[in-house]
Amino acid sequence: MKVTAEEIQRDWNKLIKIIETTFQGERKEKLLKMYEHFKDRLLLAPASGIDHFHNAFPGGYLKHILSVIQFSVKMFKLWKECGAYIDYTKEEIIFASMHHDLGKLGDLENDHYVPNPSEWHRKNQGKIYTANSDIQFMNTFDRTMMILAHFGISLSTNELLGIKLADGLYDEANVPYFKTYYHEKKLKSNLAYIIHQADEMTARIEYENWLHKDDDKKQQDKEKTEQLKNVFDGLFK
């Protein structure tokens, strides 16, 4: 999938508008400062490195984040309508959604994903990007926390767990949070479930968009072939 420069700019404007309308005071100003720091890199960042994962193209990270925010808000409303106990705010939902993959941008100066120099791997294995070996290895959550701390952005327990547990049981480090038989160890809030469900839904839809990316073109080609056939047949009636 490819997105135009105009579409990426629109997505950026949407993100900034969400920040300006969701957050207040010093927190908003710090977030705007952080995103301005990352702007040039964020606009071109992919959401993953392999084509069939999700959004492995320039602008893919931004598009992924916006979708997770949108679906998280929808999930939040659904849980609330279904009678779930809500002990957190919409701001916390949006903050956790917005930053669940922040560490994928890399460190303060260098990208995490860099274009794969191997044409063979790009063509035959879909490995469009590779991890930047020049920066210190960290998992996504740890790097996210480092970035937020650098810009002096504090977060609530709900927000921290929403970010940390976004990958659900796909990350083995999350197992003790989701899989426990002791009441005392269960998550006190359902916010982390909402973030994970929204991220999972987004990634699945992005995969399906990749999987069926040629369907419209195939349909158009089929219709064009039918039209030409009808014209040809008409010449001999």
pTM surpassing 0.85?
yes
pLDDT confidence of residue 52: 86
Q: Is residue 237 part of a domain?
A: no
pLDDT digit string, tens, across residues 17-32: 999 999 999 999 999 9
Compute CA distances 114 → 41, 49, 56, 101, whole Å.
Answer: 11, 9, 11, 16
Render pLDDT for 36-91 as a digit per residue (tens, 0 to 9).
999 999 999 999 999 888 899 999 999 999 999 999 999 999 999 999 999 999 99
DSSP-derived secondary structure letter, 167:
T
Burial of 14 (0-12, 13-18, 19+ CB in 10 A): middle
**Number of folded domains in the chain?**
1
User: 169-188, pLDDT tens digit by residue?
Assistant: 999 999 999 999 899 999 99
Residue 189 in domain: yes
Region 84-110 average pLDDT = 97
Is 236 inside a domain boundary?
no
In a domain? residue 235: no
Is there a contact between 47 and 206 (Cβ–Cβ < 8 Å)? yes
Closest-CA residue to 165 (of 202, 144, 203, 195): 195
Q: 116 in a domain, yes or no?
A: yes
For residue 129, the one-letter residue type is Y
Q: Is residue 44 part of a domain?
A: yes
**Is position 234 within any domain?**
no
In a domain, residue 31? The reply is yes
Quote the domain boundaries for residue 105: 5-229
